[in-house]
Amino acid sequence: MLIRALTVADIPALLAIETAANPYPWTAGVFKSCFGSQYFNFGIFGDEQLLGFYFGQFIAIESQLFNICVRSDQQGKGLGATLLAHFIAESQLRSATEAWLEVRASNHAAIHLYQKHGFIEAGCRPNYYSSATGKEDALMLCLPLRFAN
């Protein structure tokens, strides 16, 4: 397994994974907009194939996890945990004091993963996500960090 920074050339592979794994996937335009200097985006590769990815942002003293996704046929193998640990380490390298994310209230597997890594619930955004039944709440999770300096 290899984790490396993503580039815009990876967008077709990102779209394939995102579209297969999410009922409301990001578009190519959204992916493309997340390649600025404030973003840090990494993918995990096996046999030169993209298996999963995350998109993070660092501003001032906080990092935010915008998207984390693992290829459907690779889920349940610990790749999500590996990517999340990498996001946390990259946040610490940037001297972030906190890492934040939002997650669908119904995504119990993701919530369990985040809590296992120390994230705590810090709030709720009612009716934040689109869903098959209309709207769904987003839970806001925070991880206080000790930076590496």
What's the rounded Cα separation, in Å, for the pair 36 and 143? 24
Which tens digit of pLDDT belongs to each residue from 81-136? 999 999 999 999 999 999 999 999 999 999 999 999 999 999 999 988 888 788 99
Average pLDDT over residues 6-22: 95
Query: Contact, 24 vs 129, CB < 8 A?
Result: yes
Query: Contact, 63 vs 147, CB < 8 A?
Result: no
| Residue 60: alpha-carbon gap to chain centroid | 19
pLDDT of 148 above 60? no
What's the rounded Cα separation, in Å, for the pair 64 and 99? 6
Q: What is the pLDDT of residue 146?
A: 74
Q: What is the pLDDT of residue 22?
A: 86
Structural domains in the chain, CATH included, are: 2-144 (3.40.630.30)
pTM above 0.75, yes or no: yes
Catalytic-residue membership of 114:
yes
Catalytic residue among 98, 102, 128, 129: 102
Query: Contact, 136 vs 104, CB < 8 A?
Result: yes
What's the rounded Cα separation, in Å, for the pair 142 and 126? 17
Catalytic residue among 18, 90, 114, 136: 114
Task: Band the pLDDT of 149: cuts 50, 70, 90.
Answer: very low
Q: What is the pLDDT of residue 147?
A: 52
What's the rounded Cα separation, in Å, for the pair 30 and 57? 14
Where does the chain show beta strands of DSSP type E? 2-5, 39-46, 49-59, 62-70, 98-104, 120-131, 134-144
Which tens digit of pLDDT belongs to each residue from 41-64? 999 999 999 999 999 999 989 999
